[in-house]
């Protein structure tokens, strides 16, 4: 794991939301080190210092551990932002637990935007 100072994480925000169409999302904004990220290229080496790669890895690992590895798509890829959408019914509790674990890992509050 990359060493990250608390000041580098001061802009980090983790959002959890549910949709009306049986989707659940985790969106992370304020990713430090993400300058130069090109969403259409998605190249690690261009932004190796970005927290994006650790966030994405943790979300995928926790999704697989919950049996949701086949139900998620990285739908939000913008400079400073990564977002994952989970598809399927009855997944809200598992996805929320992933979001809570992510927030705990980075020692930030989870911002719950559930509908």
Domain ranges of the chain: 13-112
Q: In terms of C-beta density within 10 A (0-12 exposed, 13-18 middle, 19 or more buried), how is residue 36 classed?
A: exposed
Q: Name the CATH topology of 13-112.
A: Alpha-Beta Plaits (3.30.70)
Q: How far apart are CA 113 and CA 16, in angstroms?
A: 6
Share of the chain above pLDDT 70, in %: 92
As a whole number, the mean pLDDT across the chain is 89
Q: Taking 80 as the threshold, does the pLDDT of residue 106 lie above it? A: yes
């Amino acid at each position: 794991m990359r060493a990250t100072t608390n000041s580098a994480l001061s802009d980090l925000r983790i959002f959890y939301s549910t949709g009306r169409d049986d989707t659940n999302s985790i969106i992370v904004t304020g990713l430090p080190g993400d300058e130069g990220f090109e969403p259409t290229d998605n190249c690690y080496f261009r932004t190796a210092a970005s927290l994006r790669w650790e966030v994405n890895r943790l979300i995928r690992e926790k999704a697989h551990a919950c049996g949701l590895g086949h139900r998620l798509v990285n739908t939000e890829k913008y400079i400073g932002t990564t977002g994952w959408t989970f598809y399927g019914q009855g997944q809200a509790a598992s996805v929320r637990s992933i979001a809570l674990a992510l927030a705990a890992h980075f020692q930030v509050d989870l911002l719950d935007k559930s509908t």
